[in-house]
Structure 1
Amino acid sequence: MKQSSAKQYAFSDAEYEELRRIIEQSVGIALASGKRDLVYGRVSRRVRALGLSSFAEYLARLRKGDQAELEELVNAMTTNVTQFFRESHHFDYLRETFLPEMVQRHQRDRVIRIWSAGCSSGEEPYSIAVVMAEFLDAHPGWRAEIWATDVDGAILRQAEEGVYPMESLKDVSQERLRRFFLRGKGVNEGKVRVGKSLREIVQFQRVNLIQPWRIRQSFDAVFCRNVIIYFDRAHKKQVVEGFADHLAPKGHLFLGHSESLHGLTDRYQLIGKTIYRRRD
């Protein structure tokens, strides 16, 4: 049995494999064998925070069904790298093609619904909200609803607060900054907060994509970018099929730049760069 050297805690192969299984079963993240040091670094912080003396004690706690700690583990292992208007071509398509089509199609209820799945700290859904707010200025009587979800409860609380360092808005125009964001003063100098008009459009909720979804409504589009890349094939298929079930006719799915539906499902048509439309 191998153990890591020069580390505070012993970390056996068996312990690593058990943690890999727990993480995959909990959130669908399939960790390669080369992620051992990453797992050690993130989980050892939890071992230390709980005042435990070993990974064995930590695993014993998880085996006893400590759901609060399981959520902490998920939070620790979830990668949250994002920014405003990341992969800008998606927002160009949203403004120039998708929203005009929706206005033509939704003459009855006049509500456009978008799901940001794997929303991380909120930059994606708030970017969507900016584009929708600008577009709907010219279409009075229309409403936008954005449902933003993530498996990481801590990052969702941060997203709901909507406070960001100024440098994270480097791709946001001055006009948009003035209209949609509040600049911090005093102790909050160098920070901005998303304005009320955007925060009212976005609803945040914790959702684990590989567990059953309690969703009754359909969506015109789903943004799930740079999320399924971490799943194994079975979970990828499960998630994108689930999105198809919850998309309205001709609904759109936006994926990340390294993601593809090739070989996973035939329920979508590729219509742009990592932009798919549900086949009806």
Structure 2
Amino acid sequence: MGTLLTTPVLTDKQFEKISSLVYEICGINLHVGKKQLANSRLSKRLRILGMSAFDEYLEYLAGNPQEVIDMLDAISTNLTSFFREPQHFDHLSKVIIPRLVSERGRDAHRRLRIWSAACSSGEEPYTIAIVMKREIEDLDRWDAAVLATDINTRMLETGKRGEYEETRLKTVPPAVRQLYFDCIVPKKPRRYKVKPEIRKLVAFARLNLLEDWPMRGKFDVIFCRNTMIYFDKPTQSRLVNRYYEKLNKGGTLFIGHSESLTGIKHQFKYIKPTVYEKARAE
């Protein structure tokens, strides 16, 4: 008769240690309501490592930087989709891009930079790139790029591949799918790959938002959506003000539908719900 596998139980004290470590590293606030989630996700790490108890895992974490990254990958939530919160992409295509084309369209050096600050598995930055390609007729003559960053290395690898099951493309209009995706597995379950002309616009990189940002230039648009809800108010405040400094004059910050800058001291101008703009002259 086979041995029954039991799921390790995360005690309150162990959870406090893990939540403190997560907060210290990346600012994510794992409140007590996330204990069961942490128990479930980290139990998989214990099974992979052949461990039976969280005390053993905590000792291993203390001396293994790579496991800290794997732990963060397991803990972080990665809910995303193409064209999620479509009003943001409407604003990008109907307001921001036409303004930038009007301002820079005749310049010898036409620079456009957009940052997807918590890109998960790539759907958001690829959506941004699709909008850019669709709305700027002479995009090939622009120095245009989307920076896609995330703390989760596994999600970044998915993004770099640019391959998605058909179910992940249910929010992509058929005409857009036909133009910007190749069907690489025609039999069900079908798989699609983002076309090279879109993939080349996006650069993926691992970044902890609480650490130093190595990017030298500034951005015209920053997407940081449904990420700040995991941070406490002081961390949110620091992030929002760092985003302000990293935007060009007149640049736009998009946040998630469940987020607000209420209670945060900042210099952004409110445009409409979840859309904020940096002053065009300072």
Structure 2 match to 1:239:
239
The aligned residue for residue 21 of structure 2 is: 22
Size of the aligned set, in residue pairs, is 274
Displacement, 1:185?
2.9
Cα distance in 1, alignment partners of residues 13 and 183 from structure 2: 50
The answer to which of 186-195 and 86-95 deviates more is 186-195
Using the TM superposition, give the Cα deviation of residue 139 of structure 1 relative to its aligned residue in structure 2, in angstroms: 6.2
Residue number in structure 2 paired with 1:78: 76
Distance between the aligned counterparts of 1:266 and 1:20, measured in 2?
Answer: 28
Seen in structure 2, the aligned counterparts of structure 1 residues 161 and 265 have a Cα distance that, compared at 3 Å, is same
Confirm whether residue 87 of structure 1 aligns to residue 103 of structure 2. Answer: no
Classify the secondary structure of the residue corresponding to 1:144: strand
Cα distance change on mapping 1:207 and 1:185 into 2, 3 Å: same
Distance 2:155 2:99 in 1: 33
1:16 to partner: Cα distance: 0.8
Shift of 1:27: 1.6
SS in 1 for 2:141: coil
Paired with 2:249 and 2:228, the residues of 1 have a C-alpha distance of 23
C-alpha contact (below 8 Å) 1:252/1:275 kept by paired residues: yes
Task: Give the C-alpha shift of residue 12 in structure 1.
Answer: 2.0
Give the residue type in structure 2 aligned to 1:61: Y
Q: What is the Cα deviation at residue 277 of structure 1?
A: 0.2
Partner of 2:213: 213
2:30 alignment counterpart: 31
Give the letter for the 2:243 counterpart: F
**Residue aligning to 1:45:** 44
TM-score by length of 2: 0.93
| CA-CA distance at 1:90 after TM superposition | 0.5
Residues 136 and 143, structure 1, Cα contact 8 Å, conserved in 2: no
- How far 1:138 moved relative to its partner? 5.5
Unaligned runs of 5+ in 2: none
Instruction: Among all aligned residue pairs of Structure 1 and Structure 2, give the percentage whose two residues are the same amino acid.
Output: 36
Taking the aligned partners of 2:249 and 2:58, their CA distance within structure 1 comes to 45
Letter in 2 for 1:232: D
Does the alignment pair 1:154 with 2:133?
A: no
Residues 252, 276 of structure 1: 8 Å contact kept: yes
TM-score w.r.t. length of structure 1: 0.93
RMSD (CA atoms): 1.7
Counterpart Cα distance in 2 of 1:7 and 1:239? 41
Counterpart code for 1:83: S
- Alignment deviations for residues 174-215 of structure 1 (CA, whole Å, 9 cap, x no partner): 221111100123578511100000000000000000111112
